[in-house]
Amino acid sequence: MPLRYVDPHKKRGRGYAIAAAFGRSSVGQFVARHVARHTDPLLFRITRGRISVSPIVKAPLVTTGAKSGGRREVQLTYFHDRDDVVLVASNFGGTRNPQWYHNLKANPECEFGGEPFTASEVTDPDEHARLYALAERVYPGYRDYRAATAQGRRIPVFRLTPR
Protein backbone atom coordinates (compact mmCIF):
# COMPACT_ATOMS: atom_id res chain seq x y z
CA MET A 1 0.00 0.00 0.00
CA PRO A 2 1.58 3.33 -1.01
CA LEU A 3 2.29 5.94 1.65
CA ARG A 4 -0.73 8.19 2.13
CA TYR A 5 -0.07 11.73 0.88
CA VAL A 6 -0.45 14.31 3.67
CA ASP A 7 -0.92 17.84 2.32
CA PRO A 8 -0.03 20.41 5.01
CA HIS A 9 -2.08 23.05 3.18
CA LYS A 10 -5.28 21.01 3.29
CA LYS A 11 -8.07 22.40 5.42
CA ARG A 12 -8.92 19.96 8.17
CA GLY A 13 -12.38 19.43 9.58
CA ARG A 14 -13.95 19.77 12.99
CA GLY A 15 -13.26 16.13 13.90
CA TYR A 16 -9.56 16.60 13.22
CA ALA A 17 -9.50 19.77 15.35
CA ILE A 18 -11.17 17.92 18.23
CA ALA A 19 -8.71 15.03 17.91
CA ALA A 20 -5.74 17.42 17.80
CA ALA A 21 -7.03 19.22 20.89
CA PHE A 22 -7.29 15.87 22.68
CA GLY A 23 -3.77 15.01 21.55
CA ARG A 24 -2.50 18.22 23.13
CA SER A 25 -4.22 17.52 26.45
CA SER A 26 -2.44 15.79 29.33
CA VAL A 27 -4.56 12.67 28.81
CA GLY A 28 -3.87 12.72 25.07
CA GLN A 29 -0.14 13.12 25.67
CA PHE A 30 -0.23 10.17 28.07
CA VAL A 31 -2.04 8.02 25.49
CA ALA A 32 0.43 9.04 22.77
CA ARG A 33 3.50 8.32 24.90
CA HIS A 34 2.40 5.16 26.67
CA VAL A 35 -0.34 3.49 24.59
CA ALA A 36 -0.27 4.58 20.94
CA ARG A 37 3.47 4.13 20.54
CA HIS A 38 2.99 0.43 21.30
CA THR A 39 -0.31 -0.19 19.51
CA ASP A 40 0.00 1.97 16.38
CA PRO A 41 2.76 -0.07 14.67
CA LEU A 42 0.70 -3.24 15.09
CA LEU A 43 -2.52 -1.54 13.93
CA PHE A 44 -0.66 -0.08 10.93
CA ARG A 45 0.50 -3.53 9.83
CA ILE A 46 -2.83 -5.27 10.45
CA THR A 47 -5.02 -2.60 8.80
CA ARG A 48 -2.48 -1.43 6.21
CA GLY A 49 -2.47 2.05 7.69
CA ARG A 50 -6.24 2.55 7.85
CA ILE A 51 -6.66 2.43 11.63
CA SER A 52 -4.63 4.06 14.39
CA VAL A 53 -5.14 5.02 18.02
CA SER A 54 -4.16 8.52 16.98
CA PRO A 55 -6.32 10.46 14.47
CA ILE A 56 -3.22 12.26 13.21
CA VAL A 57 -1.82 10.41 10.19
CA LYS A 58 1.26 8.36 11.09
CA ALA A 59 3.43 5.77 9.43
CA PRO A 60 6.32 3.58 10.58
CA LEU A 61 9.89 4.83 10.27
CA VAL A 62 12.39 1.98 10.11
CA THR A 63 15.97 2.96 10.86
CA THR A 64 19.24 1.24 11.61
CA GLY A 65 20.32 1.75 15.22
CA ALA A 66 23.17 4.25 15.59
CA LYS A 67 24.94 2.11 18.20
CA SER A 68 23.43 -1.36 17.85
CA GLY A 69 23.12 -1.55 14.07
CA GLY A 70 19.80 -3.29 14.69
CA ARG A 71 16.47 -2.59 13.03
CA ARG A 72 14.45 0.08 14.87
CA GLU A 73 10.84 1.03 14.19
CA VAL A 74 8.79 3.95 15.46
CA GLN A 75 5.44 5.38 14.35
CA LEU A 76 5.66 9.08 13.39
CA THR A 77 3.44 11.93 12.26
CA TYR A 78 4.52 13.28 8.89
CA PHE A 79 3.54 15.45 5.95
CA HIS A 80 4.68 15.94 2.39
CA ASP A 81 6.60 18.78 0.80
CA ARG A 82 6.22 17.99 -2.87
CA ASP A 83 7.55 14.41 -3.26
CA ASP A 84 9.54 14.48 -0.03
CA VAL A 85 8.31 13.42 3.39
CA VAL A 86 8.98 15.72 6.34
CA LEU A 87 9.49 14.47 9.91
CA VAL A 88 9.81 16.59 13.05
CA ALA A 89 12.05 15.27 15.86
CA SER A 90 10.01 16.92 18.62
CA ASN A 91 10.16 14.12 21.20
CA PHE A 92 6.97 15.57 22.74
CA GLY A 93 8.85 18.79 23.54
CA GLY A 94 11.42 16.99 25.66
CA THR A 95 14.92 18.21 26.41
CA ARG A 96 16.59 15.60 24.19
CA ASN A 97 16.19 14.54 20.61
CA PRO A 98 14.38 11.23 20.08
CA GLN A 99 16.45 8.12 19.47
CA TRP A 100 15.38 7.93 15.83
CA TYR A 101 17.08 11.31 15.29
CA HIS A 102 20.45 9.77 16.20
CA ASN A 103 19.71 6.72 14.06
CA LEU A 104 19.00 8.86 10.97
CA LYS A 105 22.09 11.00 11.56
CA ALA A 106 24.28 7.89 11.71
CA ASN A 107 22.43 5.93 8.99
CA PRO A 108 20.35 8.13 6.66
CA GLU A 109 19.08 5.24 4.53
CA CYS A 110 15.68 4.32 5.95
CA GLU A 111 12.16 3.13 5.19
CA PHE A 112 9.04 5.12 5.89
CA GLY A 113 5.61 3.64 5.38
CA GLY A 114 7.31 0.68 3.72
CA GLU A 115 9.03 2.84 1.09
CA PRO A 116 12.79 3.50 0.80
CA PHE A 117 14.11 7.01 1.57
CA THR A 118 17.30 8.89 2.30
CA ALA A 119 17.07 11.29 5.24
CA SER A 120 18.76 14.65 5.60
CA GLU A 121 18.42 17.13 8.43
CA VAL A 122 17.15 20.55 7.36
CA THR A 123 19.85 22.99 8.51
CA ASP A 124 18.95 26.12 6.53
CA PRO A 125 17.16 28.42 9.04
CA ASP A 126 14.61 29.74 6.52
CA GLU A 127 13.74 26.27 5.23
CA HIS A 128 13.53 24.96 8.79
CA ALA A 129 11.13 27.79 9.73
CA ARG A 130 9.00 27.19 6.62
CA LEU A 131 8.72 23.45 7.23
CA TYR A 132 8.08 23.84 10.95
CA ALA A 133 5.24 26.27 10.20
CA LEU A 134 3.74 23.62 7.88
CA ALA A 135 4.15 21.00 10.60
CA GLU A 136 2.12 23.20 12.95
CA ARG A 137 -0.67 23.21 10.37
CA VAL A 138 -0.66 19.41 10.34
CA TYR A 139 -0.57 19.10 14.14
CA PRO A 140 -0.95 22.22 16.31
CA GLY A 141 0.78 20.42 19.19
CA TYR A 142 4.10 21.21 17.51
CA ARG A 143 3.56 24.81 18.76
CA ASP A 144 3.49 23.46 22.31
CA TYR A 145 6.67 21.48 21.70
CA ARG A 146 8.46 24.50 20.26
CA ALA A 147 7.46 26.59 23.30
CA ALA A 148 8.63 23.85 25.66
CA THR A 149 12.06 23.68 24.00
CA ALA A 150 12.53 27.41 23.32
CA GLN A 151 15.32 27.71 25.89
CA GLY A 152 16.89 24.29 25.47
CA ARG A 153 17.05 22.99 21.92
CA ARG A 154 15.95 23.68 18.38
CA ILE A 155 13.65 20.88 17.28
CA PRO A 156 15.22 19.17 14.25
CA VAL A 157 13.34 18.68 11.00
CA PHE A 158 14.19 15.94 8.51
CA ARG A 159 13.48 15.71 4.81
CA LEU A 160 13.11 12.18 3.46
CA THR A 161 13.86 11.96 -0.24
CA PRO A 162 12.62 8.89 -2.14
CA ARG A 163 15.38 6.52 -3.26
- CATH for 31: 2.30.110.10
Domain containing 78 equals: 14-162
**How many structural domains does the chain have?**
1
Q: Where is 131: in which H helix or E strand?
A: helix 125-138
Sequence-distant (6+) residues with CB within 8 A of 36 are: 52, 53, 54, 75
pLDDT value of residue 1: 59
Mean pLDDT of the chain: 89
Tell me the average pLDDT across 25-41. 78
Tell me the average pLDDT across 24-52. 76
**Does residue 93 lie in a domain region?**
yes
15 vs 162, residue with greater confidence: 162
The helix, strand and coil proportions of the chain, stated in percent and rounded to the nearest 5, come to 40, 25, 35
**Does residue 137 lie in a domain region?**
yes
pTM, to two decimals: 0.86
